[in-house]
Amino acid sequence: MLQPIRGTRDLLPEDMRRHRAVVERAQEMAERYGFLEMATPIFEDTTVFKRTLGDTSDIVTKEMYTFSMKDGEEITLRPENTAGVVRAVLSNGLRQDLPLKYFYAGPMFRHERPQKGRYRQFHQIGVELIGVPEPLADVEVIATGQAILDALGLQGRTTLEINTLGDPESRKAYRAALVEYFSAHLDRLSEDSRDRLGRNPLRILDSKDEGDRRLVEGAPLFGEFLNQESQDFFAQVLAGITALGISYKLNPRLVRGLDYYTHTAFEFTTTELGAQSAVMAGGRYDGLMEMMGGPEIPGIGWAAGIERLSMLVADVAPAPRPIAVIPLGSEAEAKALVLSDRLRRSGLQVDLGYSGNMKKRMKRANKIQARAAVILGEDELAQSAAAVRDLDSGEQQLVSLDKLADHLARFR
């Protein structure tokens, strides 16, 4: 029997209802903060991701789904969406409209080991605020994330962890300190980390290798190399989120390994999903636009996994209960087709029974948890009426077809 590809899954109606509830609630809250929904293609020219994520990242070297087209063009299914959003700003000539505030939701693709809450085709929501260099942008982006988590009923179940990566000058000083530290332990580094040492030593801090992680525990901290400007920027961010009543935990080990990240880095984490603790992660990426061939324009954003959020949210509103239309006989079936269409146009959710005797069709009505049944038989048709049975109370009454839609309105 054919099965879905490993690391993918089908979103059946119950899963899809939870998935959609997360997206719709997030979109609603994001709009309150001025973020408008947009979408980019699910695949891009491979350069979009190689240039931004870096040749040494695990995503580029191990996880991207990349394909060569017949014309020689190389495309990649998007492993994340920030690069695509920035590409869209550049290719659509939107630099004159700054600041830009976008919300997105959609599938991403990474070839990694499937585990709880993590798939090879997964889905994310995210926001990007482009064109604002002031700390207020960081505060607003974090506040938007907190508001969405609260709206999903996750108050008190996530923790904001935050750190600063400083400005490029501070980052340069920290990079030099890391090279010096890890060079002294070169024989204990994994092969991947030795390769990264000369090109991007900050990536070593994200290593999953156990030996690397032990070395990282003794590595210098970013805070020791922050200049005054970077300290002042971070202080304003912390003051802003404190003013909004958002609690946080300083995490000096929280970093972003890519060169275009600056200043604020943050994650909302939980203890309820095992090893996969982060449900939302983001940071400021002031160098990304320039790296993609555009002007020097700042940006900040975050992304959150819909699958992980769906696992955390409480039961969402139940699916609406339909009205079951049950025709008995060929004449009634012809009438039921037109009647069902009329009822749907009046705003009712209608399930039309296709075949079977009365017992079989009522069994179907109960299976789909119908709220009421509209029964059309010879006797009812002779009176231009239908028998309406309340499937909760069992009460049944004859209702004129002309007044049927009004009568059923109470079952919406």
**What confidence score (pLDDT) does residue 192 get?**
83
What is the rounded CA–CA span in Å between residue 372 and residue 39?
40
**What confidence score (pLDDT) does residue 14 get?**
87
Q: Is the pLDDT of residue 377 over 60?
A: yes
AA letter at 176: A
Tell me if 59 sits within 8 A of 110, measured CB to CB: yes
Q: Answer yes or no: is 110 a known binding residue.
A: yes
What is the rounded CA–CA span in Å between residue 25 and residue 148?
7
Residue 100, beta-bridge partner list: 130
Return the structure tokens found at 232: 């002042």
Q: Answer yes or no: is 366 a known binding residue.
A: no
Q: Collapsing DSSP states into helix, strand and coil, what is residue 282? A: strand
What is the rounded CA–CA span in Å between residue 148 and residue 136?
18
**What confidence score (pLDDT) does residue 51 get?**
79
Residue 210 vs residues 189, 214, 217, 288: alpha-carbon distances, Å: 10, 6, 11, 31
Going by pLDDT thresholds of 50, 70 and 90, the confidence category of residue 271 is confident
**What confidence score (pLDDT) does residue 58 get?**
63
Which of 95-109, 226-240, 270-284 comes out lowest in average pLDDT?
A: 270-284
For 357, list phi and psi in degrees, rounded to 5.
-80, 180
Closest by alpha carbon to 99, among 299, 259, 310, 383? 299
The CA-based dihedral angle spanning residues 69, 73, 74, 79, taken in that order and rounded to the nearest 10 degrees: -90
Residue 101, beta-bridge partner list: 129
Going by pLDDT thresholds of 50, 70 and 90, the confidence category of residue 113 is confident
Positions of CATH 3.40.50.800 in the chain: 323-411
What is the rounded CA–CA span in Å between residue 74 and residue 48?
11
Closest by alpha carbon to 323, among 237, 252, 241, 387? 387
Going by pLDDT thresholds of 50, 70 and 90, the confidence category of residue 237 is very high
CATH of 13-167+227-312, one of 2.60.40.1120, 1.20.140.10, 3.30.930.10, 3.40.50.10610: 3.30.930.10
Going by pLDDT thresholds of 50, 70 and 90, the confidence category of residue 117 is low
pTM of the full structure: 0.88
Q: Answer yes or no: is 271 a known binding residue.
A: no
Return the structure tokens found at 31: 């709009």
Q: Is the pLDDT of residue 276 over 70?
A: no
> Would you tell me how many other CB atoms lie within 10 Å of the CB of residue 153?
14
**What confidence score (pLDDT) does residue 54 get?**
64
pLDDT tens readout for residues 243-262: 999 999 999 888 876 767 89
Residue 242 vs residues 106, 234, 235, 246, 378: alpha-carbon distances, Å: 31, 12, 10, 5, 71
Going by pLDDT thresholds of 50, 70 and 90, the confidence category of residue 97 is very high
Going by pLDDT thresholds of 50, 70 and 90, the confidence category of residue 357 is confident
Q: Answer yes or no: is 140 a known binding residue.
A: no
Positions of CATH 3.30.930.10 in the chain: 13-167+227-312
**What confidence score (pLDDT) does residue 275 get?**
63
Q: Answer yes or no: is 354 a known binding residue.
A: no
- Is the Cα torsion angle 276, 278, 280, 285 positive or negative in sign? negative
> May I ask the CATH architecture of the domain 323-411?
3-Layer(aba) Sandwich (3.40)
For the chain, state the CA radius of gyration. Answer: 28
Residue 400, beta-bridge partner list: 385
Which of 252-256, 313-317, 369-373 comes out lowest in average pLDDT?
A: 313-317
pLDDT tens readout for residues 143-188: 999 999 999 999 889 999 999 999 989 988 998 999 999 998 888 9
pLDDT tens readout for residues 56-69: 566 666 788 899 98
Return the structure tokens found at 306: 């819909």
Q: Answer yes or no: is 269 a known binding residue.
A: no
Closest by alpha carbon to 123, among 261, 16, 277, 14? 16
Q: Answer yes or no: is 260 a known binding residue.
A: yes
What is the rounded CA–CA span in Å between residue 294 and residue 284?
17
Return the structure tokens found at 260: 């275009």
pLDDT tens readout for residues 198-235: 778 888 887 888 888 898 889 998 889 999 999 999 99
Return the structure tokens found at 250: 């300083």
Tell me if 304 sits within 8 A of 104, measured CB to CB: no
Q: pLDDT: is 72 or 19 the higher one?
A: 19
Q: Which residues contact 172 (CB under 8 A, 6 or more apart)?
A: none
